Amino acid sequence: MIENRSMMILNKPGETNNNYADGQKTIDFELDIIGQSTHFRICVAQKQATLSDIAPLAQKLSTQMAKIVLDKLQSNGEFVPCRKGCSACCNYLIPLSVPEVFRLREEILAMPTGQGRTVLQSFLDTAKIILNEKPKKFEINESTQTSNHRQISELSKWYASLKLTCPLLSNNLCTSYEHRPVACREHIVKGSALLCEDEWSDGSQIVQMPISVLECLGQLAAELEQSDIEAVMLPLALPWAQENLERAERTWPAVTMVECFVEILQTLNIEQSKSPIMKKAQLCS
For 92-136, what is each residue's pLDDT tens digit?
Answer: 889 999 999 999 999 999 999 999 999 999 999 999 999 888 776
pTM of this structure: 0.86
Does 168 fall in a domain?
yes
Does 65 fall in a domain?
yes
Q: What whole-number distance in Å separates Cα of residue 175 and Cα of residue 229?
A: 28
**More confidently predicted of 208 and 28:** 28
pLDDT at 140 over 60: no
Please count the other Cβ atoms lying within 10 Å of the Cβ belonging to residue 233: 23
pLDDT band at 282 (very low <50, low <70, confident <90, very high): very low
- In terms of Cβ atoms closer than 10 Å to its own Cβ (0-12, 13-18, 19+), residue 241 is buried
pLDDT at 22 over 70: no
Does 1 fall in a domain?
no
Does 2 fall in a domain?
no
If DSSP codes are grouped into helix, strand and coil, which group holds residue 32?
A: strand
Q: What whole-number distance in Å separates Cα of residue 215 and Cα of residue 229?
A: 9
pLDDT tens sequence across 217-241: 999 999 999 999 999 999 999 999 9
**Number of domain units in the chain:** 1
Q: Amino acid identity of 122?
A: S
Cβ proximity of 30 and 39 under 8 Å: yes
Does 174 fall in a domain?
yes
Cβ proximity of 140 and 233 under 8 Å: yes
Does 36 fall in a domain?
yes
Does 230 fall in a domain?
yes
Does 146 fall in a domain?
yes
CA distances for 117 relative to 113, 162, 243, angstroms: 6, 24, 20
CA distances for 235 relative to 123, 213, 258, angstroms: 6, 21, 28
Q: What is the mean pLDDT of residues 18-44?
A: 85
What is the extent of the structural domain holding 26?
Answer: 7-284
